[in-house]
Every structure is written in structure tokens, then in C-alpha cells.
Structure 1
Amino acid sequence: MIHKFCCSLKNRLMHQTIICNYKSRQREVLIMNILQLKYLVAIVENGFNITQASKELFISQPALSKSVSQMEATVNFMIFERHKGRLSHLTVDGQIIYDHAKRVLSEYDELMGIIELRSRSEEGEVVLGIPPLVITTLFTDFLNKIKSKNDQVKVTVLEYGGHTLEEMMKNEKINFAILVDSNLYQDDHFNFIDIHLSEFALYMSRNNELASKKSIHWTDLENKDIAIVDDTYSAHHIFQNHLSENNVKVKSMLTASSWDYLFASIKDQDTITFLPIAIQNLFNMKGIKATPFTEPVPWKISFFWRKRINYTSAQNYLIDYFKFYFKKKLD
């Protein structure tokens, strides 16, 4: 039933109508198809350079120029302004069509992704490694949606620190993982897509002497008490590397596997902890301040999978759904 509905909607979008009223006391229904809209958007996004746009579209320059003339003949008004015979910018009416075309193409691409995902018959189990810091902050909605889209694919989540998951990927114990600022970016054995970028902050009591600062430099941590996640987490190694690079020696360092515990340890104390800015929405921040670094420390999240050709249909489904879901988020 869903497949029939999607196909029907696809056919309707393929013949998206743009209604214009340009003839006195007369209305015409004018048709521009998806391909023409793609040509229009490509021309604008390539700075009205027909040669460059035709290369991006994999068609000849004469064919694209002819399509422009056909578009304008179809709507019965000028879409592009010309200067010395070359396209220079959009007319007022052309701008209106362009703005609508972008929305239509976005919805069309989303529909094609849904049709592709729904038309498959994937089933099976996939193991996915996700650090605890990441799963609560970013992945609740994703995991619920992938289950609702295809209940034949079971995703089993392994919750380990990012450093541990990276080692598991290298040792081929798992093929899929969400990693933070990973060393695997330079490893030719893996593919990846970036899915989130924010930054780390220092969390402290509002009574802490550093709480008055708008931003923190690493040297401000000299001889300070620190609580941080243990060395199974990528955040631990990121923090230690920055201390080393800035020649900073802290007074004490408490490590723990529970970030709930770390968060509790900084209340009404001089202790400071190092966590992503995004997690402050998960806690009661009363009496606590999150302060960014003067030079931002990125919290870069990516989905990694090992390069191979013999993945099961369920595993390929997971890869494709990651691309589909986070492309929408990033767009």
C-alpha cells in the first residue's frame, strides 16, 4: 500500500506544475518537469556558467542551452537576464521559480530515498558501536526511526567509549561504529560520513574561580582539579593531548566511566570536567556553568564502516539509512 502511494506521489512530482497568469484575463497551466528544474538550479549554482553547469549535469553545452530556451518558451516569460549574449542573473520571475524549484527538488530527493529504502526486502541483524556520550545526545531519534522504517532489520548497539570502539574497528571485531575525532579518518580501510560537529566545553560550579570567564584558555587549567572520563573514551585522549601540547600540569585528575558521576562531582566543588557542549541539555544546569575554550575544541562525530563488498542486505540498509537520515539533518 505504501509502495503504491509512493509511486503515485513520485509520478505527480515528476509532472510538477507551475501555474502562471501572464496573459491578460487568461490563465494557463504550464508544465516544467523535474529535469528542467534540475537544469535551472545547476545553472544558478554554477554562477550562470553554462559550460560548468553542463559538465556537472553530464550533458552537452548546446543541449543545456537549448533546454534554457525551451524552459522560457514553456512559461512564456524570461527566466534569465542576458549580458552580451550570456546568462548573467535571474529575472524577478526567474528568482521565484528558482526558489520553488529548490524546495521541489529537495522533496523529490527525499521521496526517492524513501521509495528506495521501502522497496527493499532487507532483514537481519547489524551490530553498531556507539559511545554513551553520543548515543544519548544524538541517536535516540535515529534508532527509533530506523526500527520503524524496517522492523525486519535489528540494530544491536554496543555502548563503549570511542577509543575502545576504534580499537574494535581496527581489529575487525565490529564493522560499524560512531566515533569522535577518530584516527581512522586517514585509514584507507574505512569509509566515513560526518554526522555532527560542535565543540567541547569545561563544566564547573558557578562558584569556581574560572566561572567568571567568557572563555577558557588551556593555561587556565594549570594546577586545577579535574574530573574526566576514563581512557576508554576519545574525550579522555583529546583532553590529555591538549594538556600536553600546551605544557599544562593539573593538580589532580579523577577518572570515571560514568559521566553522570563526573557531572555530580563538580557541584559545589572546585573540580572541573571536560564534556561536549551538547550534553548540557540532558542535565539540570542549576549552579553549573559550561564555558567554551578560547580556541574551540571540536566534537566531531562520524559514522565509520569498513570497506568491503560482501555486506548483507541488512548491513547495506544501515549504511544507506545513515546517508539518507544525516544528509537531511546536515542539509
Structure 2
Amino acid sequence: MEQNLSLYKIFYTVAIAGNISKAAKELYISQPAISKSITKLEQSLDTILFLRNSRGVQLTEEGHILFKYLDSAFATISTAEEQIKRIKELDIGHITIGVSTTLCKYVLLPYLQKFIEKSPHIRITIECQSSNKTLQLLEENKIDIGLIGKPYTLKNIDFYSLGEIEDIFVATQSYINNLKIREATGSNDLFKTATLMLLDKENMTRQYIDDYFIKNNIELNNLIEISTMDLLIDFAKIGLGVACVIKGFVETELQNKTLVQVPLEIPIHKREIGFAFSKSVPLSSAVENFIHSYKEYEKT
């Protein structure tokens, strides 16, 4: 069939024109070339498609059948071309983004508002998953882009850094004061005596903090695992314990002293967050627009 595609186009044009010379002008090819193409198609299909007369050509019964289906096929192609043109003109597209609940609220959401205002015709789908799950979805080509903490190894992933984040421990001042009354301890000993609140083990942030504890030989006794960063912050604010949070997400609480930062003898190294996308899949125009727009958003 692939070899017949150009022949079908010639046949279709001749059928509409009803005349080989008129079709030749529309297609910018010679009349003998058109006649030869029609003959070749008829031989390929082993049937007669046109009856020639003094006024031009007329479709046979078989020619009418072929024309009917080609008319539908070319109309579908024309519709597809128009839709693609419309996508380009209106910047229409679809982006599926994988992101943790925490990064979605504190990093992605503020940007999405600006992006949607600029590109209202791009449809956005959000897959709220852990960074580890987001990486898996990228590898399986189930999402277009992920907003994640930078993993130790990138494998087949390209990574566009959005900057660094800092993990800290926070609590209410009253909780710290009461803890000091009960236990006269240093900061490392505080981890043994305080109720420590961390994200669950599926979270990449938790894995990063666990590595910090292991490398510094810090033992934990009283541990509560929480599913989201928001709950960690809320539980810390009611004095339930010491929570490990991202500093940039509690700036307001630190400024108004709702929470205080617990000093550490050994600081936690900052880490990167950014957009990740698969090297094996070309970026769509919508995704390229999304990343480019973020670069512009960072400058404002």
C-alpha cells in the first residue's frame, strides 16, 4: 500500500477534477505522467477505475468504491493537519507531571499558576507520588516530567536543577524547654530523648536523613513516621515532638517563632531539587515550553 499512496492522491485529484488536464495543473505534473500513474494503479488493483470519453474521465463502479474510502481517508488526514496547526497556533498540549505532595505544594503550585496564565490551552495532569515512584514512572514512560530531589544516580534521566533545599529539625520553644528540664543533653543526645518525627521510609527525603543518621552514628529511640510534610509541620507546631522539615517550607513559622530550629553539631548537607525527564523520549513542545517558562519564572 505504501507504494500506492502517491497513486491514490493522483487518482483522487483526477476523480474530483473529472479531467486529466485539469488534474495535471493542480498537481503540477504532466498529463502523460498522470495517465501512466492511473494505469499503474489499475494494474495494481487489477480493475478499471476510469472510463475515458471526449469530455474527460468518469468513475467506474470500482472507481466509485475506491473514491468513497479515499475521500474519507483524506478528510481524516486534513482534520489531523488542522488539529496540529491549531495546536501550534494556540500552544495546545498535554503534560503529565510526577511530583511528591510536598514539592507540589511548595514548589510546583506557585509556578503552575503563572504557567497556566501564560499557556491556558496546555492540559496538566499531576501524579502525586514519592520521588522514587516518580523516577519509576519516568523510566516506564508513564509521565513526561518529574519534580524530584536529585537521586544519587541519574541512569537514563536528564536533570534540570532548580536549586538547593536544606533539611532542618524544628520544634516549638516550649517543647525544647520542657525537654531540657527532663534531660540535660546535647543536640546529638536530643535525638535519643526527643520524640522525633520523620517522613515514612518510601520518601526520598527520609532516605537522605537516614543516611545522615547512619554516617554520624546517631541512634533514634522515640520515632513517629508521618506521611506528609504538612503534617510534620502541624504536629511540630502543637508540640508533639521534633520534626525534620525543609527549611524553605517553614520560613514563616521560623520568622514568627511558632517554630525554632534545633541546632545540630553536624549540619545536614544541602541537596538539589529539579525537573527530571527521560533521555530516551524526545520532549514534546508542551514540555519544552514548560521548562523554558520556568527559566523565565526564576528570573522574576
What TM-score do you get using the length of structure 1 for normalisation?
A: 0.54
Could you tell me how far apart the structure 1 residues matched to 2:240 and 2:226 are?
17
Could you tell me how far apart the structure 1 residues matched to 2:238 and 2:158 are?
44
Residue 164 of structure 1: aligned partner: 133
Which of 205, 209, 212 is equivalent to 1:235?
205
Q: Where does 1:119-138 land on structure 2 (aligned, <5 Å)?
A: 121-138=90-107
2:167 aligned with 1:200, yes or no?
yes
Counterpart residue type for residue 319 of structure 1: I
1:179: how far off? 0.7
Q: Where does 1:1-331 land on structure 2 (aligned, <5 Å)?
A: 121-184=90-153, 186-187=154-155, 189-209=156-176, 220-267=190-237, 269=239, 271-281=241-251, 287-291=258-262, 293=264, 294-308=266-280, 310-326=282-298, 328=299
Higher helix share: 2
Contact 2:131 2:204 in 1 (8 A): yes
Contact 2:102 2:230 in 1 (8 A): no
Could you tell me how far apart the structure 2 residues matched to 1:243 and 1:136 are?
27
1:287: how far off? 4.3
Instruction: Map Cα deviations across residues 13-39 of structure 1 (whole Å, 9 max, x no partner).
Output: xxxxxxxxxxxxxxxxxxxxxxxxxxx
Counterpart residue type for residue 96 of structure 2: V
* Seq. identity, %: 14
Could you tell me how far apart the structure 1 residues matched to 2:246 and 2:107 are?
12
Structure 2 counterpart SS, 1:172: coil
Instruction: Map Cα deviations across residues 201-249 of structure 1 (whole Å, 9 max, x no partner).
Output: 101121344899xxx9656423432111112321111111111111221
Counterpart residue type for residue 166 of structure 2: E
Structure 2 counterpart SS, 1:166: helix
Contact 1:191 1:305 in 2 (8 A): yes
Counterpart residue type for residue 231 of structure 2: Y
Structure 2 counterpart SS, 1:325: helix
Q: 1:260 to 1:141 in 2, by over 3 A?
A: closer
CA RMSD of aligned residues (A): 2.9
Structure 1 counterpart SS, 2:250: helix
Q: 1:314 to 1:256 in 2, by over 3 A?
A: same
Could you tell me how far apart the structure 1 residues matched to 2:123 and 2:238 are?
44
Counterpart residue type for residue 197 of structure 2: A
Q: 1:148 to 1:268 in 2, by over 3 A?
A: closer
Q: Which has the higher contact order (CA 8 A, sep 6+)?
A: 2
Q: 1:244 to 1:312 in 2, by over 3 A?
A: same
Could you tell me how far apart the structure 2 residues matched to 1:261 and 1:244 are?
25
Unaligned runs of 5+ in 1: 1-118
Could you tell me how far apart the structure 1 residues matched to 2:111 and 2:295 are?
12
Instruction: Map Cα deviations across residues 262-317 of structure 1 (whole Å, 9 max, x no partner).
Output: 22333464621101011114659654212354424314211111114543322332
User: Which stretch shifts more, 237-246 or 310-319?
Assistant: 310-319
Instruction: Map Cα deviations across residues 127-158 of structure 1 (whole Å, 9 max, x no partner).
Output: 11122222222233310111111111122222
Q: 1:145 to 1:240 in 2, by over 3 A?
A: same
Could you tell me how far apart the structure 1 residues matched to 2:201 and 2:225 are?
8
What TM-score do you get using the length of structure 2 for normalisation?
A: 0.59
The alignment covers a number of residue pairs equal to 205
Could you tell me how far apart the structure 2 residues matched to 1:282 and 1:156 are?
30
Unaligned runs of 5+ in 2: 1-87, 181-185
